[in-house]
């Protein structure tokens, strides 16, 4: 990294749930910028297509032992501050083992912990994880009404006779209180 350029470092907390992703992105950006710098270095070099005296190498020039196109390790240098520390790291490819949820505001309740891997399929499901209760849909008297019930039948399921009697009684009490509050000079047509 050029010492004259300002640092492009960003603070990353190790306990952040996105720590791995942020580090991976930073390493990829650094590697891309190094590739761009290397391309600029070779921009002034001779072009083999334009050179009439260029002879392409024969296949016998390369031995299989000395030339390996596959590399399993990726080493990338990350410079946090110019001139301070150089860190060599490998790009992680695996997801973290667990994902952690948010803790409560006062910190008394820990956050949820989710596994990043699917549970094993060849084990018995614990009874506490089985939801019972039957199929979704109408139950009891609502099912007996059929597919196209009348509005009055549905109303009678929601409000039985006792509920309607209580509503009527309390409505009449409230109307009596309102009537007592109406003065003699008030136009009664406003209350009809």
**66 pLDDT exceeds 50?**
no
pTM above 0.75, yes or no: no
At 159 the pLDDT is 92
Please tell me which residue, 183 or 164, carries the higher pLDDT value.
164
* Residue 24, both tokens: 């991976």
* Residue 190, both tokens: 């406003």
Contact criterion met (CB below 8 Å) for 115 and 101? no
At 124 the pLDDT is 87
**75 pLDDT exceeds 90?**
no
Would you place residue 171 in the very low, low, confident or very high pLDDT band (cuts 50, 70, 90)? very high
Contact criterion met (CB below 8 Å) for 26 and 10? yes
Domain boundaries, the chain: 14-41+74-102, 142-182
* pLDDT tens digits for range 132-141: 877 778 888 8
């Amino acid at each position: 990294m050029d010492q004259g350029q300002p640092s492009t470092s960003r603070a990353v907390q190790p306990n952040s749930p996105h720590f791995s992703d942020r580090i991976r992105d930073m390493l990829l950006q650094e590697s891309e910028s190094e590739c761009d710098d290397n391309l600029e270095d070779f921009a002034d070099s001779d072009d083999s297509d334009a050179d009439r005296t260029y002879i392409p190498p024969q296949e016998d020039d390369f031995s299989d032992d000395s030339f390996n196109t596959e590399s399993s390790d990726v080493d990338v240098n990350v410079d946090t501050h110019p001139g301070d520390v150089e860190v060599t790291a490998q790009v992680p490819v695996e997801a973290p083992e667990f994902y952690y949820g948010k803790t409560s505001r006062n910190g008394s309740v820990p956050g949820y912990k989710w596994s990043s891997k699917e549970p094993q399929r060849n084990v018995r499901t614990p009874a506490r994880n089985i939801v019972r209760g039957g199929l979704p849909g109408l139950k009891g008297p609502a099912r007996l009404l059929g597919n196209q019930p009348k509005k009055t039948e549905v109303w009678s399921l929601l409000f039985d006779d006792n509920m309607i009697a209580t509503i009527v009684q309390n409505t009449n009490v409230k109307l009596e209180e309102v009537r007592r509050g109406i003065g003699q000079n008030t136009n009664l047509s406003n209350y009809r």
